[in-house]
C-alpha cells in the first residue's frame, strides 16, 4: 500500500483518522531530517576535525608571542593586539596589501576571461578537441616547484627564451628585466599565475557549458541570435551559478598563492612581489615570528571572508531581482 | 514503518563505522622515533644532492657499524628542514641526531630543542674558535660541524687572459676588472643578491672586510659595501638579475661563460670540474684597500643532539656526533663535499688531494660565524641586510637611504 | 559545422596549445639536456641525454605509484563525503545553504601550513604518519570542500519535481539520492572527482609534513629531494615531472570523454 493511497484513504475517512495522518507526515519530515543529518555527518565531522582546530589555533596565535620555543614547550605569552599593531606599522605591510589586491584582481580577470573564452571555443565539436582540451590542463598539473623554475629560466633577462624570442622578432632590443625590475616583477608573476590558472577555469566553465542544452542555441539561432548575442543572452546568464563558484573560489585560492611567488622572486625585488601570503610565510619561517605571521594570515582570511560574504549576498540579491 | 527505520539505522551505522574505520586505519611506522629501542637512531639531514647524499650515508653507516647501532635516515629537502624540525618539536617527536644549518643552531638551542654537547664526552680539540662559537649559544656548545665552507672569487682563466686582466685583489681592481670583462652579453662578475638569507650571506665578506657589522647597517662602512655592489650593477659589470639569482643560479651563469668571475663557495667545484672546457681559478674575495684583512663568513652544517627525553638514546646520539666529527670522518666528508675540515690540522691533507681548496683552507682560519654577534637575533639582521641590498641594487633607493630604511625596520 | 570550419578550429586549437604549453615543452627539453644545463639550453635537445630519466625511473617509480594510490583514495573519499552533503544542503536545506556554504568556503581560506602543522601533531599521536590512509585524509582537505561547493551549486538546480515525485512514490532519501540525483549529476561528479585527484596529485605540503621516511613518499616530494642546499641538478627533476604528469594526463584524457554534453539537459535553472 503506497503512502499516497494511505493518505488519500485517511483524508476521506472520519476525523479520528486525521491524527495518524499528521503523525505520518511528521514522521516523514523527521525521517527527511534524520537522513539529511546523516548525509551531512561525514562532511561535518571531516570539516570540524581537519579545519576547526587549525583555524582556532591560527586565530589565537595572532594574539600571542609565538616563537620557536613555543613549539616545544607550548608557552606563548599573550600580547593582545601587539602583533597587529606591529603589522600595521610596518611599511612592508601596506606594500604587501596593495600588491595582494593587484595580484588577485589581475590574476582572476586574466584567468577568468581566457578560461571562459577557451571553454566557449572548445564547445564546438572539431577533431582532436577532447585530447587538446585535456592537454591544456598541464599547466595546472605541474608541480609548482617545477613551474617556478621553468618560468624563472624563461623570463631570465639575459638568456631566457622569452627575451630571445622577442629579440628575434625585433620586438625589443635588449633583454626585458621581467623578474628583476620592481616595476615589472609583479606583472610577470601575475602572468605566470594566469598561465597556471587558465586550465582550472577552463575545465569548470566547460563542464558548466555542457549543461546548457543545445536546443536553446538552436532556437536562438532561428531568431538570428548567434555568436556574441547568443553568448550574452544564453550562455552568460545560464552560467551564473558556475561563474559565482569560479569567481569566489578563484579569489579565495589566489589570495593564498605562495609557492609560485616564492619560486619566482621570493617576494622581491625590493618587495615588489610581496603579498600578504608571502609576508606571512616570511614572518613565520624565516624570522620565526609566528605570532606576527599568524596575524597577517588572519587578515588574509578576513579579506577572503568579506569578499565571499559580500559577493554571495550581492549575487543572491541580483538573482532574486531577476 | 519497519523497512525505513532499518534503512536509516543502517545508514547511521555505516557512516559511523566509516569515520571510525578511517581514523583507526593506521599501520606501521608512525612518528619518527622507534620507541624503546636504543639500537636504532633516527638521523635527519638535508643532504639530498649527490654526492653528499651517498657520502653522508656512508659516513653514517660506517659510524653505525662501529657503534653497533642501526640508522634510520630521514633526508629532508633543504628549504623544509626548519619547518620539519618545528613540527617535530611541537609533537615532541624530534630525531635522535639532527643536522642543523649553522645560522639556525642558536634559534633551536634557545628554544630548548637541543642538548648541550658538554653533557657528553665529545672531543672538541683542534677546532678554531670561530667554528665553536658558531655552534654555541650563551657560551654553551650545542652543535659541532665536521666541515665548514666559505666564499671566494672564482674566475674564468680564459676570459681574463683574453681581456688582459689579472684577478683583482682590491675593490677598485674589482670594479676595473669587471668593467673590462663586461660586454657583448657577458658580465664581469656575478654574485647572489637574492631576497633571502643567501643574499645576506654573500654580502658578509664585503660588509665585514669594510669594517661594517650586521647589527647596524646604517653606518658608513656598511653603506660603503652596499655602494660597491650598487656600482657594479649600475655600471653594467654585474647583471641586474643578481637580485634574483641564488648561488646555484650564479654558478650556472659562470659555467655557461656568461660571467667572467663569480662569488661562490667550494661546493661548486665538482660542478665546475664537470663542465667541459672551463678553466677556472680561485682567489680570495677582494678587500676594500690593499693590506686589509678579508673576513669571510663561516658556512656549513652542524650535528646536534635534540632533546628526546631518552637518556640512553641521547648518549648514543652524542657518540654518533662524535664519530661524525672524528678525523677520519672529517677528511672523508671534506673530500666528498669540498668542504674544509673543521680541525685545522687536517687542512693540508685535503689540499694535497684537491689543490683548489688551498684558498678556502686559508680563509677559514680567520672566518667568522654568521651568528657570532647576534646569536638568535640573526634572522632579523639578515632580513634587514637583504632588504637594503634589494632596494639599493634595483635603484629604488640610494645605498645610504636603503641602509637607513632597512635598519629602521623592526 | 562545416568540415572546413572544423579544420580551422583544430588548427587554431593546436596553435593555442603550442603557445600555452611552450613552458611544458621547455620542461621536456631541459629534462633531456646533458649535465642538467639550464642557462645554455638549446631550443631543441639535439644531443639528448637520458640520464635524468634513468635516475627518475630508478628512484621515482614507487613514488608515482604511491601518488596514484593516494590520489585515487582521495577521489573515493571526496565523493563519498561530499556528494551526500551537497545533496542535503541543496535539497533539504536550501534556505540555510548560504551560511553553510560560507562555512565550507572558509575552510578553503585557511593557509595550508596552518592545517599541516596541526595535523602533524595529531597524526604523530595517532600513528598516522607515513601511512597512505593518513595522506588520503589530509589531501582531501582541498577536494572535499571544493566538491561540496561544486556539487551543491549543481544539485541546487536539479528538477525538484522529479525528486519529489520519487519521494511520493515511497522512495527513501537514500534511494532518491542514489538512483536519481547521482546519475543526473554525473558531470559535476566527474569534475569534482577529477579535481580531487588533481589536488591530491599535486599536493606537496602534506606530503612533506606528514612523512618522515622514504617508505611512503608521493612523487611531489620525490622531485623535491633532488633539490639540495647548494647545487641543483635539474634533469632528474624535469624528467620526474614529465613522468609524473603522464598518469594525470591519461586520466584527463579518459575522464573528459565522460563529461558528455546534454546529459543533464535542463538541470541548471
In a domain, C20, yes or no: no
Residue A112, classed as helix, strand or coil, is: helix
- Give CA angle at A215 (A213, A220), nearest 5°: 115
Tell me what percent of the residues of chain A surpass a pLDDT of 90: 36
pLDDT tier for residue B28 given thresholds of 50, 70 and 90: very low
Backbone angles phi, psi at C47, to 5 degrees: -120, 70
Does residue B203 belong to the interface with chain C, where contact is any CB pair within 8 Å? no
Mapped onto helix, strand or coil, the DSSP state of residue A97 is: helix
Residue B358, C-alpha cell as written in the block: 688551498
Q: Is residue C96 part of a domain?
A: yes
Instruction: Name chain A contacts of C146, Cβ cutoff 8 Å.
Output: 249
Give the model confidence (pLDDT) of B124-139 as tens digits.
888 888 888 889 998 8
pLDDT of residue B288 exceeding 90, the answer is: yes
Of the listed ranges B16-25, C10-19, C84-93, C240-249, the one predicted with least confidence: B16-25
Nearest to C31 by CA among B190, A142, B244: A142
Q: Give the pLDDT mean for A204-227.
A: 82
Residues of B within 8 A of C221 (CB-CB) are 77
First to last CA, chain A: 43
Q: What's the rounded Cα separation, in Å, for the pair A103 and A197?
A: 13
User: Distance (Å, rounded) from C-alpha A138 to C-alpha C194?
Assistant: 13
Range of the domain at C74: 53-264
Q: Is the sign of the CA dihedral B352, B354, B359, B363 positive or negative?
A: negative
What distance in Å separates the CA atoms of residue A225 and residue A218, rounded to the nearest whole number?
A: 9
φ and ψ of B299, to 5 deg = -120, 175
Asked whether residue A2 carries a pLDDT value surpassing 50, the answer given is no
Most B CBs within 10 Å, among C137, C174, C178, C212, to test the B interface: C212
Q: Taking the CA atoms of B138, B140, B145 and B149 in sequence, report the sign of the dihedral they define.
A: positive
Cβ-defined contact of C212 to B265 (cutoff 8 Å)? no
Q: Band of the pLDDT at C266, cuts 50, 70, 90? A: very low
On whether the CB atoms of residues B301 and B313 are closer than 8 A, the answer is: no
What whole-number distance in Å separates Cα of residue A198 and Cα of residue A287? 34
> Which of these ranges, A2-6, A122-126, B112-116, B354-358, has the smallest mean pLDDT?
A2-6
Top residue of C89, C182, C256 to mutate, by most chain A CBs within 10 Å, is C256
Among chain B residues, CA nearest to C122: B91
Res C102: pLDDT = 86
Mean pLDDT, chain B, as a whole number?
Answer: 86
Q: Judge whether C21 lies within some domain.
A: no
Assess whether pLDDT exceeds 90 at residue A313: no
C99 and A CB contact within 8 Å: no
Facing C21 at nearest CB: one of A138, A149, A249: A138
Which helix (H) or strand (E) segment holds residue C53: the answer is: helix C51-87
Tally of domains in chain C: 1
Cβ A54 vs Cβ C114: under 8 Å:
yes
Q: What is the pLDDT of residue B11?
A: 44
Domains of chain A from N-terminus onward: 82-321 (1.10.3720.10)
Across the beta sheet with B280-283, what order do the strands follow? Answer: B187-190, B259-264, B152-156, B280-283
Interface residue of B77, B84, B95, B187 to substitute, partner C, most C CBs within 10 Å: B77
- Please indicate if any CB of chain C lies within 8 Å of the CB of A157: no
Q: What is the pTM of this model?
A: 0.86
Interior CA angle at C75 toward C70 and C80, to 5°? 125
Q: Which tens digits make up the pLDDT trace of A259-273?
A: 899 989 988 898 999
Residue C29 in any domain: the answer is no
Task: Give the pLDDT confidence score for residue A22 in this predicted structure.
Answer: 65
What value does the CA radius of gyration of chain B take, rounded to a whole number of Å?
25
What separation, in Å, do the N-terminal and C-terminal C-alpha atoms of chain B show?
A: 70
Rounded Cα–Cα distance for residues C239 and A146 (Å): 11
Nearest to A139, CA basis, from A121, A128, A153, A151:
A151
Q: Looking at residue C76, what is its pLDDT?
A: 96
Neighbours of C190 (CB within 10 A): 18
Look up residue A83 and give its three cell numbers. Answer: 602583533
Cell output for B326: 672524528
pLDDT value of position A189: 96
- Range scoring the smallest mean pLDDT among B353-357, C101-105, C255-259: C255-259
Contact call for residues B259 and B187 (beta carbons, < 8 A): yes
3-state DSSP of chain B: CHHHHHHHHHHHHHHHHHHHHHHHCCCCCCCCCCCCCCCEEEEEECCCCCCHHHHHHHHHHHHHHHHCCEEEEEECCHHHHHHHHHHHHHCCCCCCEEEEEHHHHHHHHHCCCECCHHHCCCCCCCCCHHHHHHCEECCEECEECCEEECCEEEEEHHHHHHHCCCCCCEHHHHHHHHHHHCECCEEEEECCCCCCHHHHHHHHHHHHHCCCECCECCCHHHHHHHHHHHHHHHCCCCCHHHHCCCHHHHHHHHHCCCEEEEEECHHHHHHHHCCCCCCEEEECCCECCCCCCCCCEEECEEEECECCCCHHHHHHHHHHHHHHCCHHHHHHHHHHHCCEECCHHHHHHHHHHCHHHHHHHHHHCCCEECCCCCHHHHHHHHHHHHHHHHHHHCCCCCHHHHHHHHHHCC
Q: Express each pLDDT in B359-396 by its tens digit.
A: 999 888 888 888 888 888 888 899 999 999 999 999 98
Please tell me the predicted confidence (pLDDT) of residue A145. Answer: 82
Distance from CA of C110 to the nearest CA of B (A): 18
Judged by a CB distance cut-off of 8 A, whether residue A252 touches chain C is yes
Collapsing DSSP to helix, strand or coil, A78 comes out as strand
Lowest mean pLDDT among A12-21, A92-101, C17-26, C43-52: A12-21
| Residue C40 at interface with chain B, using a CB cutoff of 8 Å | yes
Confidence (pLDDT) at A12: 42
Q: What is the pLDDT of residue C259?
A: 59
Q: What is the pLDDT of residue B29?
A: 37
B11: how many CB neighbours lie within 10 A of its CB?
Answer: 19
Across B27-41, B156-170, B304-318, C119-133, least confident range: B27-41
Task: Please give the pLDDT value at position A8.
Answer: 39
- Distance of alpha carbon C60 from alpha carbon B246, whole angstroms: 27
Residues of A whose CB is below 8 A from C234: 149
Task: Indicate whether C221 pLDDT > 90.
Answer: no
Q: What is the CATH number of the domain that holds C88?
A: 1.10.3720.10
- Chain B neighbors of A41, CB-CB under 8 A: 15, 19
Task: Please compute the mean of the pLDDT values over residues C30-43 and round it to a whole number.
Answer: 72
Most distant CA atoms of chain C, gap in Å:
72
Query: How many whole angstroms separate alpha carbon A97 and alpha carbon C196?
Result: 31
Instruction: Give domain status of residue C214, yes or no.
Output: yes
Measured from the Cβ of residue B129, the count of other Cβ atoms closer than 10 Å reads 10
Position B1 pLDDT exceeds 60: no
In this complex, which chains have at least 3 CB pairs below 8 Å with chain C?
A: A, B
Report which of residues B60 and C46 the model is more confident about: B60
ipTM for the predicted complex comes to 0.86
**B248, C230: Cβ pair inside 8 Å?**
yes
What local confidence, expressed as pLDDT, does residue B21 receive?
38
- Residues in chain A whose beta carbon is closer than 8 A to a beta carbon of chain B? 31, 34-35, 38, 41-42, 45, 67-73, 86, 89-92, 152, 156-159, 177, 179-182, 265-272, 282, 285-288
- At C35 the pLDDT is 63
pLDDT band at B12 (very low <50, low <70, confident <90, very high): very low
Q: What is the mean pLDDT of residues A298-306?
A: 92
Identify the pLDDT of residue C269. Answer: 31
Within 8 A of C2 by CB-CB distance, chain A residues are none
Q: Which residues of B touch C55 (CB under 8 A)?
A: none
Amino acid at each position: 500500500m503506497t503512502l499516497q493511497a494511505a493518505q488519500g484513504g485517511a483524508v476521506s475517512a472520519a476525523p479520528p483518522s486525521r491524527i495518524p495522518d499528521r503523525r505520518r507526515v511528521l514522521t516523514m519530515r523527521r525521517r527527511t531530517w534524520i537522513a539529511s543529518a546523516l548525509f551531512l555527518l561525514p562532511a561535518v565531522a571531516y570539516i570540524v576535525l581537519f579545519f576547526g582546530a587549525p583555524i582556532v589555533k591560527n586565530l589565537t596565535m595572532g594574539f600571542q608571542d609565538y616563537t620557536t620555543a613555543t613549539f616545544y614547550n607550548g608557552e606563548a605569552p599573550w600580547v593582545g593586539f601587539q602583533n597587529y599593531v606591529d603589522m600595521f606599522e610596518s611599511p612592508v605591510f601596506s606594500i604587501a596589501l596593495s600588491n595582494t589586491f593587484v595580484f588577485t584582481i589581475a590574476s582572476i580577470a586574466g584567468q577568468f576571461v581566457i578560461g571562459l573564452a577557451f571553454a566557449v571555443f572548445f564547445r564546438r565539436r572539431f577533431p582532436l578537441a577532447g585530447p587538446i582540451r585535456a592537454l591544456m590542463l598541464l599547466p595546472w598539473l605541474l608541480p609548482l616547484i617545477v613551474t617556478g623554475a621553468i618560468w624563472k629560466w624563461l623570463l631570465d633577462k639575459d638568456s631566457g627564451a622569452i627575451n630571445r624570442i622577442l629579440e628575434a622578432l625585433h620586438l625589443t632590443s635588449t633583454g626585458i628585466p621581467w623578474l628583476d625590475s620592481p616595476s615589472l616583477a609583479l606583472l610577470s608573476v601575475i602572468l605566470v599565475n594566469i598561465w597556471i590558472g587558465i586550465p582550472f577555469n577552463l575545465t569548470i566553465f566547460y563542464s558548466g557549458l555542457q549543461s546548457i542544452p543545445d536546443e536553446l542555441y538552436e532556437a536562438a539561432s532561428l531568431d538570428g541570435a548567434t555568436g556574441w548575442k547568443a553568448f550574452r543572452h544564453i550562455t552568460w546568464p545560464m552560467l551564473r551559478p558556475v561563474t559565482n563558484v569560479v569567481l569566489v573560489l578563484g579569489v579565495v585560492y589566489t589570495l593564498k598563492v605562495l609557492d609560485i611567488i616564492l619560486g619566482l622572486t621570493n617576494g622581491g625585488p625590493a618587495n615588489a612581489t610581496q603579498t600578504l601570503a608571502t609576508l606571512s610565510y616570511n614572518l613565520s619561517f624565516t624570522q620565526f615570528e609566528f605570532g606576527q605571521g599568524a596575524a597577517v594570515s588572519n587578515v588574509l582570511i578576513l579579506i577572503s571572508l568579506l569578499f565571499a560574504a559580500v559577493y554571495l549576498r550581492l549575487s543572491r540579491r541580483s538573482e532574486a531581482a531577476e | 514503518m519497519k523497512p525505513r527505520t532499518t534503512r536509516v539505522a543502517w545508514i547511521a551505522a555505516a557512516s559511523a563505522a566509516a569515520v571510525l574505520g578511517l581514523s583507526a586505519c593506521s599501520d606501521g611506522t608512525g612518528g619518527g622515533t622507534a620507541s624503546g629501542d636504543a639500537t636504532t637512531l633516527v638521523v635527519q639531514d638535508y643532504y639530498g644532492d649527490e654526492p653528499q647524499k651517498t657520502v653522508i650515508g656512508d659516513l653514517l653507516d660506517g659510524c653505525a657499524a662501529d657503534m653497533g647501532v642501526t640508522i634510520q635516515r630521514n633526508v629532508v629537502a633543504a628549504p623544509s628542514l626548519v619547518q620539519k624540525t618545528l613540527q617535530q618539536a611541537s609533537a615532541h617527536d624530534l630525531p635522535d641526531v639532527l643536522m642543523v644549518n649553522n645560522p639556525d643552531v642558536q634559534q633551536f638551542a634557545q628554544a630548548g630543542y637541543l642538548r648541550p654537547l658538554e653533557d657528553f664526552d665529545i672531543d672538541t680539540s683542534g677546532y678554531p674558535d670561530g667554528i665553536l662559537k658558531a655552534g654555541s649559544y650563551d657560551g654553551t656548545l650545542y652543535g659541532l660541524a665536521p666541515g665548514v665552507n666559505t666564499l671566494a672569487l672564482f674566475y674564468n682563466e680564459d676570459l681574463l687572459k683574453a681581456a688582459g686582466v689579472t684577478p683583482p685583489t682590491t675593490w677598485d681592481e674589482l670594479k676595473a676588472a669587471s668593467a673590462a670583462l663586461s660586454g657583448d652579453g657577458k658580465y664581469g662578475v656575478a654574485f647572489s643578491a637574492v631576497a633571502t638569507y643567501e643574499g645576506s650571506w654573500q654580502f658578509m665578506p664585503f660588509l665585514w672586510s669594510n669594517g661594517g657589522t650586521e647589527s647596524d647597517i646604517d653606518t658608513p662602512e656598511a653603506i660603503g659595501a652596499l655602494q660597491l655592489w650598487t656600482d657594479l650593477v649600475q655600471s653594467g659589470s654585474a647583471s641586474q638579475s643578481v637580485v634574483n639569482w641564488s648561488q646555484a643560479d650564479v654558478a650556472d651563469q659562470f659555467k655557461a661563460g656568461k660571467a667572467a668571475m663569480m662569488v661562490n663557495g667550494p661546493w661548486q667545484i665538482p660542478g665546475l670540474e664537470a663542465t667541459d672546457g672551463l678553466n677556472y681559478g680561485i682567489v680570495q674575495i677582494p678587500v676594500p684597500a690593499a693590506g686589509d684583512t678579508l673576513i669571510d663568513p663561516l658556512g656549513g652544517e652542524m650535528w646536534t643532539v635534540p632533546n628526546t627525553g631518552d637518556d640512553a638514546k641521547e648518549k648514543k646520539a652524542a657518540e654518533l656526533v662524535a664519530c661524525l666529527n672524528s678525523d677520519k670522518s672529517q677528511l672523508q666528508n671534506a673530500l666528498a663535499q669540498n668542504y674544509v675540515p673543521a680541525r685545522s690540522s687536517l687542512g693540508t691533507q685535503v689540499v694535497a688531494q684537491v689543490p683548489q681548496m688551498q684558498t678556502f683552507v686559508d680563509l677559514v682560519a680567520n672566518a667568522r660565524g654568521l651568528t657570532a654577534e647576534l646569536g638568535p637575533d640573526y634572522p632579523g639582521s639578515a632580513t634587514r641586510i637583504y632588504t637594503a641590498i634589494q632596494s639599493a641594487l634595483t635603484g629604488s633607493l640610494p645605498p645610504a637611504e636603503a641602509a637607513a630604511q632597512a635598519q629602521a625596520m623592526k | 559545422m562545416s568540415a572546413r570550419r572544423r579544420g580551422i578550429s583544430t588548427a587554431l586549437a593546436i596553435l593555442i596549445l603550442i603557445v600555452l604549453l611552450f613552458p611544458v615543452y621547455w620542461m621536456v627539453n631541459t629534462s633531456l639536456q646533458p649535465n642538467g644545463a639550464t642557462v645554455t639550453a638549446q631550443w631543441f635537445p639535439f644531443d639528448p641525454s637520458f640520464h635524468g630519466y634513468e635516475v627518475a625511473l630508478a628512484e621515482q617509480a614507487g613514488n608515482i605509484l604511491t601518488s596514484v594510490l593516494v590520489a585515487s583514495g582521495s577521489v573515493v573519499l571526496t565523493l563519498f563525503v561530499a556528494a551526500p552533503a551537497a545533496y542535503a544542503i541543496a535539497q533539504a536545506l536550501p534556505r540555510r545553504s548560504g551560511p553553510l556554504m560560507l562555512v565550507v568556503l572558509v575552510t578553503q581560506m585557511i593557509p595550508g601550513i596552518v592545517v599541516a602543522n596541526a595535523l602533524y601533531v595529531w597524526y604523530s599521536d595517532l600513528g598516522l604518519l607515513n601511512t597512505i590512509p593518513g595522506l588520503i585524509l589530509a589531501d582531501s582537505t582541498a577536494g572535499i570542500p571544493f566538491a561540496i561547493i561544486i556539487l551543491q551549486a549543481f544539485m541546487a538546480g536539479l528538477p525538484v519535481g522529479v525528486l519529489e515525485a520519487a519521494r511520493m512514490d515511497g522512495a527513501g532519501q537514500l534511494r532518491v539520492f542514489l538512483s536519481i540525483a547521482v546519475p543526473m549529476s554525473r558531470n559535476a561528479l566527474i569534475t569534482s572527482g577529477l579535481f580531487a585527484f588533481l589536488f591530491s596529485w599535486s599536493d606537496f605540503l602534506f606530503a612533506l609534513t606528514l612523512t618522515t621516511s622514504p617508505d611512503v613518499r608521493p612523487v611531489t616530494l620525490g622531485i623535491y629531494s633532488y633539490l639540495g642546499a647548494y647545487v641543483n641538478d635539474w634533469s632528474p627533476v624535469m624528467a620526474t615531472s614529465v613522468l609524473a604528469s603522464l598518469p594525470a594526463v591519461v586520466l584527463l584524457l579518459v575522464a573528459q570523454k565522460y563529461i558528455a554534453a546534454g546529459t543533464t539537459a535542463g538541470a541548471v535553472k
